[in-house]
Amino acid sequence: MYLRRFLTIALGCTALLAVARHAQAADDVKQVLQKLDVAAANFHTFSADFEFDSYVTDPIPDKDVQKGTVYFDRKSDHFQMGLHIDEVNGKSVPKVVVCCQNGAIRMYEKLTNQVTTLTKLSQYENWFGLGFGASGKELAEKWDIRDLGSETLDGVKTEKLELVPKDPAIRKNLPKVTLWMDLDRGISLKQIFDEGAGQYRVSVYFNIKMNHSLPSDAFKLPTDSKTHYIVR
C-alpha cells in the first residue's frame, strides 16, 4: 500500500516537472523571438566572409568546401542576397549567386561564362535569408522552433536554436536547421543544414559588418556579350 502511494506521488511529481520544463522552454522561445523582433527592426545590410562545408556521409564520405563573401540587404518585405564564391576546395572557381529576384535564383560561373536561372523557387526563399534580419514572427510562421540553450562563439554569446520546417514539402529536403543566433544583432554566426540522406552543410560567418554601404556589384552578375544563359 505504502509503495503504491509512493509510486503514485513520484509519478505525479515527474509529470508536473515535465509540464514545468515544457512551459519554461516555451517561455525561452518566446523571449528569443521577441528579441529577434527588436533586432529585425534595426537590420538593414550585412556582409561577411563565409565558409560552407558540405558533407556526404553515405554511401561514400565526401566533403566540399566553398569560401567567399556574402551580402544581404533587407528593407521591409524586400530581401536580396549576393553570394560571391571565390574558391571551391582550395581552387579558384569564381561564382556569383543572387537571390531572390522574381522568385528566381541566378548563378554566374566565370570559368564557363554562363548564367543559370532557377525559377519557381519562391517557397525556398526563406532558406537564403534564414538567420539574417528575419523577425521572430517570420520564423515562427514557417518553422517549429526549439531553444537548445546558450553557447559562446568567438567571444560572442549566441542562442542555439533548432528549426524544423512546418511545410512538409520543404521538410522532405530540409528536415532540420540549427542556428547559433546573436540575438542582439539578429544574425546567425553558424548554421547546420540537415539535408537528410546523409548530407548536411555547416556554414560559418566572420569579418561581419552591419548596416553599411554595400558594393555596387553586390547583387549583380558580371556578364558580358558572350555570356551563355540557361533557364531551368
Torsion region of 76: left, alpha or beta (phi above 0 gives left; psi -120 to 50 gives alpha): left
85: number of CA atoms within 13 Å, CB side?
A: 23
Q: Does domain 2-231 have CATH number 2.50.20.10?
A: yes
State pTM to two decimals: 0.85
Tell me the pLDDT of the chain (232 aa) as tens digits.
544 453 344 444 333 333 333 334 555 899 999 999 999 999 999 999 999 999 999 888 999 999 999 999 988 667 899 999 999 999 999 999 998 767 788 999 999 999 999 876 655 666 677 889 999 998 999 999 999 999 999 999 999 999 999 999 889 989 999 999 999 999 999 999 999 889 999 999 999 999 999 999 999 999 999 999 999 8
Beta-carbon contacts of residue 217 (< 8 Å; ≥ 6 apart): none
Beta bridge partners of 151: 158
C-alpha cell at 3: 509503495
Three-state DSSP state, 79: strand
C-alpha cell at 215: 558594393
Element (H, E) at 92: strand 91-101
Question: What b/e sequence results for 61-78 when a residue is b if at least 16 CB atoms lie within 10 Å of its CB, and e otherwise?
Answer: eeeeebebbbbbbbeeee
Distance of CA 230 to the CA centre of its chain: 27
Question: Domain spans of the chain?
Answer: 2-231
Q: Alpha carbon of 216 to those of 12, 41, 138: distances in Å?
A: 63, 24, 28
| Closest to 40 measured CA to CA, from 135, 170, 130 | 135
